[in-house]
Amino acid sequence: MRTLVPAKFIVERDADKCIKCQVCVNQCTFESHYYDAEEDDVKTRAGKCIGCHRCVLFCPTGALNVRRSPLEYRDNYSWIPEYIEDIQKQAEQGGMILTGMGKDKPQRIYWDHLVLNASQVTNPSIDSLREPMEMTTYLGSKPDKIEIDLATGSLKTKLAPQVKLDFPVMFSAMSYGAVSLNVQHSLARAAVEAGTMWNTGEGGLHQSLVKYGNNTIVQVASGRFGVYSDYLKAARIVEIKIGQGAKPGIGGHLPGEKVSAEVSLTRMIPQGTDALSPCPHHDIYSIEDLSQLIYALKEATNYTKPISVKIAAVHNSAAIASGMVRAGADIIVLDGIRGATGAAPKAIRDNVGIPIELALASVDSRLRAEGIRNQASLVISGGIRNSGDVAKAIALGADAVNIGTAALVALGCRVCQQCYTGKCAWGICTSDLKLTKRINPEIGARRLVNLLRGWKLEIDDMLGGMGVNAIESLRGNRLHLRGVDLNEKELEILGVRMAGE
């Protein structure tokens, strides 16, 4: 069937600069470039380019450029080009439209409507280059009070397991198969060097990554892929995944073309078969059921590891979070509507869930109002783009944040949203052994560490400007935030005042 969907990108080739080296042919995984032996020329196939820029950046002579198609549609606010093209695709394919990455619609991003405070005159700022700035964060349940033996000075209160972070930014859950093994090695190495955590996702833990266990979070999801006793014992934190921001209410889906021999071994499923996670956990239909699993995992790990529970940010997140804390969760992870994924139905990604800023503020406020905020750490993800977002998240009440897309962008991702195809030209979201070699774990780890170091320096300056020398002093301190161009209800939910007040 001939497609009626026009090309999104046009590849321009400067014939005077092109030396026919075929680098573009070898680098492009979507067959946009090809070599015509009869004419001894390198040519481009219309409609194949997905805008990943790999060919442009690797062309030795700078002969290539990629730009958007200039094709114009008649103006119609109800029938924008995206809706027309989606219908054309479904008329041709007869199925759901899959996509990768997170929501890309122009919905309000509340981080951009929040501004931070700075000290002037009465509360002197701190020079972060000359004075120490404390970024250390501890994740885990905290007691209501601490008792000390006055005779010995020792701690009488028994503390729940705690995990120390040198910087409150961790790497989001990205499973083996969804991303390549070299990506996971990059994340794990960077986590060790930066003093933070990386997350295996729901795809199990490859044996070559066990050595990074002290900086590893493992997931127990509805599919239970790769879950067994050694898997739980190898990690520092065990996370129960209930949902994720990119596809709340539905299970995971790893296409069979990405389930290689190594992936099948790690996930404990047949090679080449789709890895389908059920929508619900079939042993969790209530808060009481969740509590049973939490304590089963605590028993299995001899009460030595914090148990985290991850949910998508939805309408009743605050009430759910309250139940999770009372069920015994040591860490709550909220994943917002802009959270990314390797594969999700486009309709779900774009229409289900709520912004992480509103969910974070409402959950933090609810737990504080009930007097149980100290009983669980609060981690958020789904749309953290820069150090400013991190600082604002901490001020809204988060103990730490997860970054996924930002980490992949640091490794070379161009956010082309073709993750589900398994053809990632940058070697990130693929199981193709030829392509995975494009990620060098040593270089990848260095790039990720550099990113975190850069963000830390920027947050040091932000804190210093506020007259604050420790990240703990910013946590949940919404007096350091003001809203811009927000209505009264939004300000109420966020718990901040309007700029100028």
The answer to whether 39 and 128 are in contact (CB under 8 A) is no
Three-class SS state of 435:
helix
Where would I find the beta strands (DSSP E) of 344-470?
Answer: 344-345, 377-381, 400-403
DSSP conformation letters of 240-278: EE---TTSTTS--EE-GGG--HHHHHHHTS-TTS-EE--
Task: Name the H helices within 352-386.
Answer: 356-369
How far is residue 222 from each of residues 198, 202, 237, 348, 353, measured CA to CA in Å? 20, 9, 18, 18, 19
CA distance 164 to 438: 33
CA distance 23 to 343: 29
Annotated binding site for [4Fe-4S] cluster: which residue ranges? 18, 21, 24, 28, 49, 52, 55, 59
Residue type at 192 in one-letter notation:
V
The answer to whether 234 and 240 are in contact (CB under 8 A) is no
Question: What residues contact 489, with CB distance under 8 A and at least 6 apart?
Answer: none
For residue 281 the two structure tokens come to 């956990």
Question: What residues contact 340, with CB distance under 8 A and at least 6 apart?
Answer: 100, 101, 102, 246, 382, 404, 405, 408
Three-class SS state of 326:
helix
Annotated binding site: which residue ranges? 18, 21, 24, 28, 49, 52, 55, 59
Neighbours of 113 (CB within 10 A): 19
Element (H, E) at 12: strand 9-13
Chain centre to alpha carbon of residue 476: 22
